[in-house]
A and B are shown apart, each in its own frame.
Chain A
């Protein structure tokens, strides 16, 4: 069973992300939402309609950009707009302009690059003013500039009141776009919440590294005693501080007070990706990370758990 007992509620007007490892059931879930796959049991309502028995009413209200789909090879970009336009469609030319495809109007589908094909699918998903947009691997294959462009478009769309269900492996994308993220594992929701809340719950450890030749013992002692610090270690001149993300400010303040701000000061902030890995891998990763990060010649100066 790919999806089992999934309880998912997507409020109107939100951008909700579905994340999880490969095979977690994300694509199966969105296929059920679109009525492309029939659930064995359970209740599913999308915009008030049953996606299987009321597909005719529902599908015109949903725009989707699917994984594993294509257009006929020799269909031109402008013809694809013509083919997929319904009477409620917006101006396809404007969308092509917005997504950098205006120059490719006469190009056939097979001649487009992977990124251009992806953008064309996005244009088609947005063409008929959908109330719900489902985006599966939205920015796969796009260059950084195109990704930012697509993110801006999604935010605009959401500002206009469109609900967005986003399936992604790109955690920076989920953090940038989603108000709420749902984490799936083996077809079940294992956690959900705002990206910041997930990070707080599952990956709150920040890591600060800097070098100080002969650091004064009181400085290190002061750092070790800071609220939120879990561990301070030293390997030669390099000092590593681990703890809750608020230690970033506190450690910075201590260094400023001691007038010894190191040139190589670096901060590793916990991200949604860390949270996802923490959620999926659990304790195994903590152990592996601890073993990998602290080399044998590192002196543990102090720490709290």
Chain B
């Protein structure tokens, strides 16, 4: 790959391997919490988990935690740090095409989520088992759409927030409530009605519904899938505009 995007992707992937701590949150946090929460409610199907194995419910949910961690925590800090230190100015002045950096970040973000999701499933398989996918094409559409949406949100946050520290603070502030309410926290049946109403329209809740329901055979979740698609288009357009060199 000798195009500008190719050179940027290659450099970013190299840098990632040199700084594995950066990836810890994206790779380790979802796996560790999945192992803890997945075992907390046993493996017997109950009505609170739509009559599916609670451990499988969480395995299907935690892929979206990986996506959110990449988009809301890793990328904003990375980008804000680049902007703060003048790395983006250098790319711009060096004649990198205007959209090359945004596209490269999208590719790197998608590759990171793909690898982290695969790792999560590899760890889950011997412990809880990986549930069979009932509606493969919907899951196959929802996951990349969700990844595009959250990677774009991350790029957008990184381009808006003034410093790497601010990006970290805001990213974590958005990530944890989204995580607890929409993907990896307590099951909806133990939440109060107000909390459930707040959780419902959150982007991570929509994405988790769009992946988990067709995966576990709980329904098509078309409304959630459309919401994720709209978010992906809007966020990627805004991110591309903001990160133009």
Contacts and interface: CB of A to CB of B under 8 A. Distances in A.
B11 A69 contact: no
Interface string A170-200: 0000000000000000000000000000000
Interface residues of B, number: 22
A233 interface: no
Interface stretch (B30-38, B81-89, B206-214, B232-240): B81-89
Contact of A36 (B14, B15, B89, B98): B89
Interface string B51-93: 0000000000000000000000000000000100111011011
Nearest to A58: B95
Nearest to B86: A69
B95 A69 contact: no
Interface residues of A, number: 28
Nearest to B82: A72
A61 B93 CA distance: 10
Contact of B95 (A62, A79, A82, A108): A62
B11 A75 contact: yes
A8 interface: no
Interface string A47-84: 00000000110011110101011111011000100111
A59 B15 contact: no
A68 B15 contact: no
A74 B90 contact: no
Contacts of A69: 85-87, 89-90, 93
Nearest to B18: A74
B150 to A, nearest CB: 23
Contact of B15 (A35, A62, A74, A87): A74
B93 A59 contact: yes
Contacts of A55: 98
A124 interface: yes
A83 B86 CA distance: 16
The 5 closest A-B pairs by CB, nearest first: A69-B86, A59-B95, A60-B95, A69-B90, A70-B85
A72 B11 contact: yes
A56 B14 CA distance: 27
Given A82-B7, A87-B2, A71 B95 contact: no
Interface in B1-42: 2, 7-8, 10-11, 14-15, 18-19
Interface in A99-131: 108, 124, 128
Interface of A: 34-36, 55-56, 59-62, 64, 66, 68-72, 74-75, 79, 82-87, 108, 124, 128
B136 interface: no
A56 B97 contact: yes
Nearest to A35: B92
B100 to A, nearest CB: 11
B190 interface: no
B94 interface: yes
Contacts of A74: 15, 18-19
Contacts of B85: 69-70
Contacts of A71: 87, 90
Contacts of B95: 59-62, 86, 128
10 contacts: A68-B86, A69-B85, A69-B86, A69-B90, A70-B85, A71-B87, A72-B82, A82-B11, A108-B18, A128-B95
Contacts of A64: 93-94
A72 B15 contact: yes
Contact of B89 (A66, A83, A86, A128): A66
Nearest to A87: B2
B141 to A, nearest CB: 34
Contacts of B92: 35-36, 59
Contacts of B8: 83
A111 to B, nearest CB: 12
A71 B90 CA distance: 8
Given A59-B94, A66-B86, A70-B87, 15 more contacts: A59-B96, A60-B95, A62-B95, A64-B93, A66-B90, A68-B86, A69-B86, A69-B87, A72-B15, A75-B11, A82-B7, A83-B8, A108-B18, A124-B90, A128-B95
In this complex, the member of B2, B8, B87, B94 whose beta carbon has the largest number of chain A beta carbons within 10 angstroms is B94
Contacts of A84: 94
Contacts of A108: 18
A70 B86 contact: yes
A167 to B, nearest CB: 14
A26 to B, nearest CB: 16
A72 B90 CA distance: 11
A108 B95 CA distance: 23
Contacts of A60: 95
A62 B90 CA distance: 12
Contacts of B90: 66, 69-71, 124
Contacts of A79: 11, 14
